[in-house]
Structure 1
Amino acid sequence: MNVGPISGASVGARRRGGRKLAALALGLALAVTACGGGGADAGAGQDDGKGKGKDSAAAQSQQSEAVVAIAPEDGAESVKTSGALKVTASKGKLTEVVVKNPDGDPVEGAISGDGATWTPATHLAASTKYTVHAVAKDSEGRTAAEDSTFTTLTPKNTFVGHFTPEDGSEVGVGMPFSLRFTRGITHPDDVEKAVRITTEPPVEVEGHWFGNDRLDFRPETYWKAGTKVTVDLNLDGVEGREGVYGKQSKKVSFTIGRSQVSVVDAKKLTMKVQRDGKVIKTIPVTTGKAGMETWNGQMVISERLKVTRMNGETVGYGGEYDIKDVPHAMRLTTSGTFLHGNYWGGDAFGNYNASHGCIGLRDVRGGWDKKAPGAWFFENSMIGDVVVVKNSDDAVVAPDNGLNGWNMSWEKWKA
């Protein structure tokens, strides 16, 4: 009789234990269901062969076989500005590569025809952090991507280019864009590539090096009046010589004004001023006397001075002259050829050559007479106008003596 209660107690204990086990089993089932993506649907999937086991295998089979590699490695510092950046893809083809600086400006570049590599079209800026995002697809069209950042080197030695004409200026049809570098350049192709010139209307513009520190750009013939010229100086980071890097990133724009070409005849002692192809004035002149003849050739006005001092000692004519108030002077060569007003020449203008190589126009001391030929020509000229000298007994001016590259053929200019 005592067995019942004892047995009953045992039964009760087993029931409580059973409920705990059942609750635990239900919790595990719910946990599995939650991770597996849901209840009766999951069970139904197993029944018709579409269960979670096969879904996992399918997801894995959709992973791209393409492998994207970026050089330099992520987080790299002091990276060279040229030759270090490259993106490649194996077992697939690159479809997108975006490289940006901190301002969000993209680096131009191109994916190779086989999709295996991407390389930048130009050098990178110095001391700059870049981000890289690259995407490739495998033969099944599945994509793989990589992202990276790196920072370029900070150079110890730098150079800049001093340029003419000035940004925003209006100049004559003969004006080249001229750069003089503060260091001799031993990688000229890299530097020239970093200078991009665009024009409106479009015209072919080519660069030419004079020595290793001067680079001039011009079209084949004089600029067309009204042309707008834009120069992108992307010199920041370009290695101009071993261990010496450019530090300029600047845009320069200038406009070509009306066309003015003045032709000086050293035998007839005249200058015909042609405006837009028509002669608007003929002026009597005096040019270089025997033994000091004026250069022949095309010369560009590079400087305008209302008054200046001219001392023969500066050009090898020591003691010949020292005039402290030469009016209306316009420089034509680096070596010292000017076209200027002359108040001391007497009746030389149109009659005989009396100068030390310059082109003289009658003027008054102080330059106050606006009707005097020297004053008139000064007021009707601008930087970049062309002065052509012919029939002088001297040689043709050297192309690098001033901004006078027009004295070089187009073929030699481009060579």
Structure 2
Amino acid sequence: MRPVAGASTRGRRGRRGLALTAGALVLSLAACGGGGDSGAGSGKGKGTGDGKDAQSTAAVSIAPKAGATGVDTSGALKVGVTRGKLTEVTVKDEKGTKVEGAIGAGGAAWTPSTHLAAGTKYSVHAVAEDSEGRRAAEDSTFTTLTPKNTFMGYFTPEDGSTVGVGMPFSIRFTRGITHPEDVEKAIRIKTEPAVEVEGHWFGNDRLDFRPEKYWKPGTKVTVDLYLDGVEGRDGVYGKQRKTVKFTIGRNQVSIVDAAKHTMKVTQDGKVVKTIPVTTGKPGYDTWNGQMVMSEKLTVTRMNGETVGYGGEYDIKDVPHAIRLTTSGTFLHGNYWGGGAFGNYNASHGCVGLRDVRGGYDSSVPAAWFFNHSIVGDVVVVKNSHDRTVAPDNGLNGWNMSWAEWKK
């Protein structure tokens, strides 16, 4: 498997701070009077046109020291000043990409607002003024560490895709994450129009993002994965830098009533079609709850052994199959169901729609629904005798309240 313009992922639960590690300070003291050369980058301050040719008393400091290598990607970069105020700090990599940061109140220090990339050379240019307005500048370079152990994330939906209103942005990591606040901060989501988006961790290797309610149709979502250099667990660093964009399509939500054996397909809140279905028979009841389509397969094999049902069935050519859960719940075409559709429940937990073997007939209910559905559409099952589907069984976090989601 893989903060929002006007709606950033908030720093909550005390998880947003970057760990600080000690760094050596290179202190550039301005020379007093006509002393000799004090080293590259030092003593650059000059008067401001008041007729005095005096150097600034402001002393700029940069950590790590100039020329340092193997620098940690978080906490090591600091810029400060004594006897003055910082007026400008620019940090950028060899490609010219700037590091975001801010000068604090009073102008005494600048700190980055994000981690640095791994294995990257950075340059620092800092300018300060003393009480007389005289400027002092300092320049330095350093190189961050090259990690021995790395992780990355596999995500859904795909870049450039158009998805249904229920689609979260879900990312699964190749290593268990023990610094979740740092990883979550490194994933930035922007939407047009703006909407609040929050992340929720399922275990230590999966992070999903969603708004409080289904996405508004037409919403454009941009996800910036700035995982390169973030320390996800001790000694294990991300190696991913990618931007993912997707668009929310029309609103389609389909309501399956397991007691009435029907499915009402709604678009933008209006019923556009009612389809007779069959759901899980007693002992094999279909999950209740909101389920998001995660995969569409024109034809697939369904074997009971893969879902714990032994040799009860092995159908090699199930047509028009749409995955609803990781555990194996599908909404699919059924050509062997006889008179079950609209009358009684006969499946092993899936939602079945009338179809023909080979799926060649586009007029049958299963084909119509398959052709009118996209990944990210929502199917809601009600009045089944089973419990509500688990939020992490598929892309089904909508079964959690907003308060639970934000914890």
Task: Please indicate the TM-score interval, normalised by the length of the shorter structure.
Answer: 0.7 to 0.9
Structure 2 stretches lacking a partner, 5+ long: 1-46
**Of the candidates 333, 353, 358, which is equivalent to residue 325 of structure 2?**
333
Matches for 1:332-371 after TM superposition, within 5 Å? 332-371=324-363
Secondary structure in 2 matching 1:114 = helix
What letter corresponds to residue 374 of structure 1 in structure 2?
Answer: A
What letter corresponds to residue 405 of structure 1 in structure 2?
Answer: G
User: How far off is 1:276 after superposition?
Assistant: 1.3
The match for 1:401 is 393
What letter corresponds to residue 304 of structure 2 in structure 1?
Answer: G
The match for 1:410 is 402
What letter corresponds to residue 157 of structure 2 in structure 1?
Answer: P
Matches for 1:1-400 after TM superposition, within 5 Å? 62-400=54-392
What letter corresponds to residue 66 of structure 2 in structure 1?
Answer: D
What letter corresponds to residue 166 of structure 2 in structure 1?
Answer: G
What letter corresponds to residue 337 of structure 1 in structure 2?
Answer: T
The match for 1:51 is none
User: How far off is 1:328 after superposition?
Assistant: 0.3
User: How far off is 1:114 after superposition?
Assistant: 1.5
User: How far off is 1:319 after superposition?
Assistant: 1.1
Q: Which protein has the bigger helix share?
A: 1
The match for 2:42 is none
- Cα displacement string for residues 314-355 of structure 1 (whole angstroms, at most 9, x for unaligned residues): 111001100000000000000100000000000000000000
Secondary structure in 2 matching 1:267 = coil
Change (3 A) 1:69 1:59: farther
In 2, the alpha carbon distance for the partners of 1:190 and 1:124 equals 12
- Cα displacement string for residues 5-56 of structure 1 (whole angstroms, at most 9, x for unaligned residues): xxxxxxxxxxxxxxxxxxxxxxxxxxxxxxxxxxxxxxxxxxxxxxxxxx9x
- Cα displacement string for residues 258-295 of structure 1 (whole angstroms, at most 9, x for unaligned residues): 11000000000000000111100000000000011000
What letter corresponds to residue 292 of structure 1 in structure 2?
Answer: Y
Secondary structure in 1 matching 2:106 = coil
In 1, the alpha carbon distance for the partners of 2:77 and 2:400 equals 39
Instruction: Select the structure of larger CA radius of gyration.
Output: 1
Structure 1 stretches lacking a partner, 5+ long: 1-54
User: How far off is 1:103 after superposition?
Assistant: 1.1
The match for 1:5 is none
Q: Percent identity?
A: 78
In 1, the alpha carbon distance for the partners of 2:349 and 2:99 equals 51
In 2, the alpha carbon distance for the partners of 1:323 and 1:88 equals 69
In 2, the alpha carbon distance for the partners of 1:183 and 1:155 equals 14
**Could you say which structure has the greater relative contact order, defined with CA pairs below 8 angstroms and 6 or more residues apart?**
2
User: How far off is 1:377 after superposition?
Assistant: 0.4
User: How far off is 1:61 after superposition?
Assistant: 5.7
In 1, the alpha carbon distance for the partners of 2:161 and 2:53 equals 64
Q: Which runs of 4+ in 1 moved over 3 A?
A: 58-61
In 2, the alpha carbon distance for the partners of 1:119 and 1:335 equals 46
User: How far off is 1:109 after superposition?
Assistant: 0.3
In 2, the alpha carbon distance for the partners of 1:274 and 1:89 equals 62
User: How far off is 1:62 after superposition?
Assistant: 2.4
- Cα displacement string for residues 83-135 of structure 1 (whole angstroms, at most 9, x for unaligned residues): 10000000001110000011111100011102111110000000100010000
What letter corresponds to residue 205 of structure 1 in structure 2?
Answer: V
- Cα displacement string for residues 206-261 of structure 1 (whole angstroms, at most 9, x for unaligned residues): 00000000000000000000000000000000000000000000000000001100
Question: Under a length normalisation based on structure 2, what TM-score does the superposition of the two structures give?
Answer: 0.87
In 2, the alpha carbon distance for the partners of 1:333 and 1:360 equals 15
In 1, the alpha carbon distance for the partners of 2:94 and 2:272 equals 55
In 1, the alpha carbon distance for the partners of 2:205 and 2:75 equals 24
Aligned residues: 359
